[in-house]
Structure 1
């Protein structure tokens, strides 16, 4: 399948972000993406730990949470359009993401002891499990697999968008039950978590197809894409654990 027709719902791996590149001597490699991904995970962990330390000292972490959220959105938009600055923008994105994740993890920890650590363990396990499934070809990323997964991701994101919008205006609809701890809500999050996990397969496949075809600095853009998916997996794991604990 041609690279320009590749289907994915991850904004970092969209066709518009990766189109228009010509042959270059210094090209993207899989090892380069892996190293940069580990580096950025360390950055996320560092600011998350800093957030925890500031919380212990009595600092209002609301500022860090909202600041981190704004920062992740801002640096994501810049990365999507200014690829040559990705070596600077993506580490900044990771730092901002750490503040946001650190803050929401603190709120989860205050209500449910040890839950964030468990969610981190689930996220790490999911990443390596999906990597094993991809490398061993146990799960093959075919055209049909991509199409089904892209549709599923689009449906999940649409439902989330509707739920958040309706909740903002305090409108009661079937979508608003996604925020409670009902069995339907838990089932939805389990499905969403599964889809998020399988999205990693699309990310791995896209990186494999793009290696040696795009400039070296695009490794940072690919790293951004992996981080987006990993954060989704973590948030879904946290949601499921919280709702199960409430029940």
Structure 2
């Protein structure tokens, strides 16, 4: 999918203050005892405590305020806030689902070419529809996110099986290249070699939308027979290779935007449920990068 509206919407909402849940709520600090003290007006350490009874309501002992306020503050995980570990865990889970169904799509396509083609097209278009629903749906739906991983798995598996039959070894090359680009983009972003700014986000967004429209038109032209070459516009010639290189560049920079968006979400103390949305957005970018690398290597092998 040649764009990532998940992070586009998130960053737009965050910058315009549409995510009130990102701000810490009153009383959501420290231990549960500290939160209870703030909620019910218990005296704070260092203030005069004249007039406060030594016994609590209904004869219960008053809380040990000195112990409560001396305790360490609650961690992000304890206060129900999203952490990087949450995103990584859920992303690994979604990639696991994708790989399982990719294997199914691969073997079904090997046994029955017609069924494989159905999984290829069905997974691509249904996954695209589900992806847009997730992106613009205000309520985070875990079942929809998992369903997207299933559809993308069937699509990736069926497409990979076809490409590997026609261009032997191209899938292994694309998988290795995807892992290398992922690691390289993360290192580049982490050490400041690749910067993500508001201006670069806007430019990338416009370019991604343009490429999405081009890709959809290209798919229609190929499947209707308007263009005889299976790669569509440009074919395996210089123009086609240039188009693939541009697409790989866009997908690669999408990863840097994803890393930056995830960090922004953690810093904004978003609720833990947003880790599902972040993991889904990362899955979108990785699948996009893999497909574009697969097409690029297949074009190069065809020359």
Q: TM-score range by the shorter chain?
A: 0.7 to 0.9
Give, in whole Å, the separation in 2 of the partners of 1:100 and 1:169. Answer: 19
Task: Compute the TM-score of the two structures, normalised by the length of structure 1.
Answer: 0.83
Cα separation, partners in 2 of 1:163 and 1:76, compared to 1, 3 Å: closer
Q: Is the 8 A contact 2:110 2:116 kept in 1?
A: no
89, 94, 102: which one aligns with 1:40: 94
The equivalent residue for 1:4 is: none
- Structure possessing the higher relative contact order (Cα contacts under 8 Å, 6 or more residues apart): 1
* TM-superposed deviation, 1:206: 1.2
Report the count of equivalent residues: 236
170, 191, 203: which one aligns with 2:246: 191
Larger radius of gyration: 2
Give, in whole Å, the separation in 1 of the partners of 2:108 and 2:217. Answer: 34
Cα separation, partners in 2 of 1:89 and 1:29, compared to 1, 3 Å: same
Q: Secondary structure at the match of 2:81?
A: coil
The equivalent residue for 1:246 is: 302
Q: Secondary structure at the match of 1:61?
A: helix
Mapping 1:1-247, distance limit 5 Å? 10-15=4-9, 18=13, 19-22=18-21, 23=23, 25-58=79-112, 60-82=115-137, 84-164=139-219, 178-211=233-266, 212-247=268-303
Cα separation, partners in 2 of 1:163 and 1:53, compared to 1, 3 Å: closer
* TM-superposed deviation, 1:166: 5.3
Cα separation, partners in 2 of 1:177 and 1:54, compared to 1, 3 Å: closer
* TM-superposed deviation, 1:117: 1.8
Q: Secondary structure at the match of 1:14?
A: helix
**Richer in helix (by share):** 1
Q: Is the 8 A contact 2:164 2:170 kept in 1?
A: yes
Deviations 1:170-219 (A, max 9, x none): 667xxx96251111110121121012101111111111112243221111
Task: Compute the TM-score of the two structures, normalised by the length of structure 2.
Answer: 0.69
Q: Is the 8 A contact 2:102 2:156 kept in 1?
A: yes
Q: Is the 8 A contact 1:62 1:103 kept in 2?
A: yes
Give, in whole Å, the separation in 1 of the partners of 2:285 and 2:260. Answer: 14
Q: Which runs of no fewer than 5 residues in structure 2 stay unpaired? A: 26-78
* TM-superposed deviation, 1:82: 4.1
Cα separation, partners in 2 of 1:93 and 1:168, compared to 1, 3 Å: closer
Deviates more, 1:226-235 or 1:208-217: 208-217
Q: Is the 8 A contact 1:86 1:218 kept in 2?
A: no
Give, in whole Å, the separation in 2 of the partners of 1:229 and 1:26. Answer: 27
